[in-house]
Structure 1
Amino acid sequence: MQLCLVHMVRNSVAFVTWQRRKQVCNDLKAIYAIATEPEAKFNLELFADNWDKQYPSISKSWRSH
């Protein structure tokens, strides 16, 4: 189980294509760099709406941690 943000991000983008990696990382940053938990959960839902069709395991991993 990964709890360190660096490892969470690395694990999340491990299978993301190079063309999309920067965009996915920016969207992940909107989750972990936010000040409050409700805002982070909202941003996670936005992330899932955008990326779950291509990379469903990312949002699942972030929800479980």
Structure 2
Amino acid sequence: FQWIWNSSCQPKHKVFFWRLLHDRLNTRNLLRRKTFHLDSYNCALNNFQQEETLHHLFWTYPFASQCWDII
């Protein structure tokens, strides 16, 4: 992961991508694994009965899919 720190991105982007790759972004899935109590662990962005995970937010969520199609 040294390439992240050697890149010319802003530090906030470096930290975000590092946390993304190491599964340290606070999704509802991570909070459940840390035994943090929430009323629902389903994704709050849509009405799907799907748990909010990194994979869901960055790959299968409709808005994320549209962004990846543009790229």
The one of the two structures with greater contact order (alpha-carbon pairs below 8 A, sep at least 6) is 1
- Flag the structure with larger Rg: 2
TM-score by length of 2: 0.27
TM-score by length of 1: 0.28
